[in-house]
Structure 1
Amino acid sequence: MNNAVLKSDTQDIVVDEVFPHTPETIWKTLTDNELISRWIMVPEGFAPLKGKHFTFQTTPAGAWDGMIRCQVLEVVPNERLVYSWVSGDEGNVGYGSRLETIVTWSLSKVGGGTRIRMVHSGFVMPKNDTAFQNMSEGWKKVVPQIGVIAGDQE
């Protein structure tokens, strides 16, 4: 069997922004449950601790209950937060199809603020095409909200 057949085509969503806030303020916005609920969804059970499982609830579809199951994979306070993002159901096509991805938040201090880089990686194409398209647009709206909410904290 040739290697091209075995290799999946994956896509990543990348959003890069610079906000006029300290890394500590951005970190708090990324890791405080009340603040998270203001820029994305209400997290259940989240804590910035490696190995911690948590969930988000969104609109169900077909065989999928709308639950996004996550696990914190890496935590470097004020610098890096990584978690898995698993949702959907194998029986669904389009919205709600099985999704097994990783969300990585990287923060770096820049003149007068913080650069935030969000990479949502591992969308398997074409199976995750609908999720990739929807979430590409969604993350472009969500990430700037982090800066707005961070500004409310200072």
Structure 2
Amino acid sequence: MTVSPFVIERIYNAPADKVWQAITDPAKMKSWYFDLPGFKPEVGYEFEFYGGEEGGEQYQHLCKVTEVIPGKKLTYTWRYGKYPGNSFVTWELFPEGDKTRLQLTHAGLDTFPQDNKNFRRESFAQGWTEIIGTNLKAFLEQ
């Protein structure tokens, strides 16, 4: 049984090119997302980082860019070292006048071990809500 992907949308008071820069420029990403030195929005580019609950286990994230439509769409795989499963994170930008609607889709969450609370849908919902609902919004609208 395939589980529907997690989808979250937010509208920012920022033009699409500024949002695109925020999600693809490593210097900008570092201030609201993760530190991904050398990140390139190019198909085949592989990157990794560590993340997890503050004070808790830090998980190695292994990612590979699979689709890029400059200024509009970025997709990469998202999996964990030492754990089974593979998922896809897609960022899509939709200009709406001087604002931008961002739709983030995280598909394949059900492929991760569900006996680990950090890999459950609720955990991803909480994380993405903070990342794009709070951190990215503050970065773009400061």
Report the CA distance between 1:125 and its aligned residue.
6.3
Give structure 1 stretches of 5+ with no counterpart.
1-7, 91-97
> Across the two proteins, how many residue pairs are aligned to each other?
135
TM-score by length of 1: 0.77
Deviation at 1:140, TM superposition (A): 0.6
Aligned ranges for residues 27-66 of structure 1 at < 5 Å? 27-59=20-52, 61=57, 66=59
Structure 1 stretches of at least 4 aligned residues deviating more than 6 Å after TM superposition: none
The equivalent of 2:124 in structure 1 is 135
Give the unaligned 5+ runs of structure 2: none
Correspondence 1:107 to 2:93: yes
Matches within 5 A, 1:62-77: 66-77=59-70
Query: Cα RMSD between the aligned structures?
Result: 2.1
Deviations 1:47-99 (A, max 9, x none): 111110011112485xxx72101001111111000000011534xxxxxxx33
1:147 to 119, 137, 140: 137
AA of the residue aligned to 2:5: D
Separation of aligned partners in 1, 2:111 and 2:63: 21
2:88–2:108 CA contact under 8 A, matched in 1 = yes
Give the Cα separation in 1 of the matches to 2:67 and 2:130: 25
Q: What CA distance in whole angstroms lies between the structure 2 residues aligned with 1:67 and 1:45?
A: 17
Give the CA deviation at 1:126: 8.0
Larger radius of gyration: 1
Indicate the percent of aligned positions where both proteins have the same amino acid: 24
